[in-house]
């Protein structure tokens, strides 16, 4: 989870949603605690843009909608509000009651890994995501090297992992019949900046 904001009280979800509407930065919310989300690096932004572009092209042909990290996701079973780096919804988006800024029914979720969120994205967050009935595919994309983890749901609680490490490898999202080259995911990434950081 991201870094917790200093707080002396637990917030209701209504208070969180009200604060989030006028906040200068995005925050997650879980069990009364508000967690500030770290800002993105150049590589993070390049990868997020590349993923969104690929998903949007596929979405246009398949009655789906691609979202950037500005759309909030509620995992109802756990009460977690979060902002995936990208997501895809096929069919009509289902929104939290009374809201148009929080969706409930993603098919594909994408996280671009950073040092501060890597363990969380692999662990508790993925576990929570699995409680979403419509969720079928999960991408974890490393921003510091060519390394993509693709989880695909094959039955109720079974996920198959494919790891892609080569630029010429092809990522296949089976739920929407989309093929993307790993090179496309990493287009315009600045590896020199990564090694000097």
Question: How far separated are the first and last CA of the chain, in Å rounded?
Answer: 23
pLDDT class of 1 with cuts at 50, 70, 90:
low
User: CA 110, 86, 40 angle in degrees (round to 5)?
Assistant: 95
pLDDT above 90: residue 14: yes
Span 101-140, pLDDT tens digits:
999 999 999 999 988 888 999 999 999 999 999 999 999 9
User: Which residues lie closer than 8 Å to 14 by C-beta, 6 or more apart?
Assistant: none
Walk me through the domains of the chain, giving residue ranges and CATH numbers. Answer: 1-37 (no CATH), 41-72+84-196 (3.90.1570.10)
Q: Identify any residues that bridge with 18 across adjacent strands, giving them in sequence order.
A: none
Tell the burial category of 19 from Cβ atoms under 10 Å away from its Cβ (0-12, 13-18, 19+).
middle
Classify 138 as helix, strand or coil. strand
pLDDT at 8: 66
pLDDT digits (tens, 9 = 90+) for 146-188: 999 999 999 878 999 999 999 999 999 999 999 999 999 999 9
**What is the pLDDT at residue 2?**
54
Nearest-angstrom CA–CA distance, 86 and 90: 14
Let me know: does 108 contact 99? Beta carbons within 8 Å.
no
Asked if residues 125 and 138 have their Cβ atoms less than 8 Å apart, the reply is no
Residue 195 has pLDDT above 50, yes or no: no
- CB-facing half-sphere around the CA of 101: CA atoms within 13 A: 10
Distance between CA 113 and CA 142 in Å, rounded?
A: 5
Task: Write down the pTM of the prediction.
Answer: 0.92
Q: Give the closest residue to 36 by CA, choosing from 101, 149, 110, 117.
A: 117
- Decide: 104 and 82 in contact? Cβ < 8 Å: no
């Amino acid at each position: 989870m991201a870094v917790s904001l200093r707080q002396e009280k637990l917030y209701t979800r209504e208070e969180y949603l009200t604060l989030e509407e006028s906040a200068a930065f995005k925050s997650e919310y879980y069990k009364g605690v508000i967690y500030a989300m770290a800002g993105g690096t150049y590589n993070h932004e390049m990868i997020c843009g590349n993923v969104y572009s690929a998903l949007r092209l596929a979405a246009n042909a398949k009655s789906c909608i691609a979202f950037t990290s500005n759309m909030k996701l509620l995992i109802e079973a756990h009460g977690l509000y979060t902002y995936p780096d990208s997501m895809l919804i096929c069919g009509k988006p289902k929104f939290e009651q009374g809201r148009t800024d929080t969706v409930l029914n993603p098919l594909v979720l994408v996280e671009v890994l950073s040092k501060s969120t890597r363990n969380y994205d692999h662990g508790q967050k993925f576990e929570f995501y699995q409680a979403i009935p419509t969720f079928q595919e999960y991408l974890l994309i490393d921003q510091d090297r060519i390394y993509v983890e693709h989880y695909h749901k094959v039955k109720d609680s079974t996920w198959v992992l494919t790891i892609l490490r080569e630029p010429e490898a092809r990522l296949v999202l089976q739920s929407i019949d989309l093929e993307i080259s790993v090179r496309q995911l990493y287009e315009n990434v600045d590896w020199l900046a990564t090694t000097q950081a």
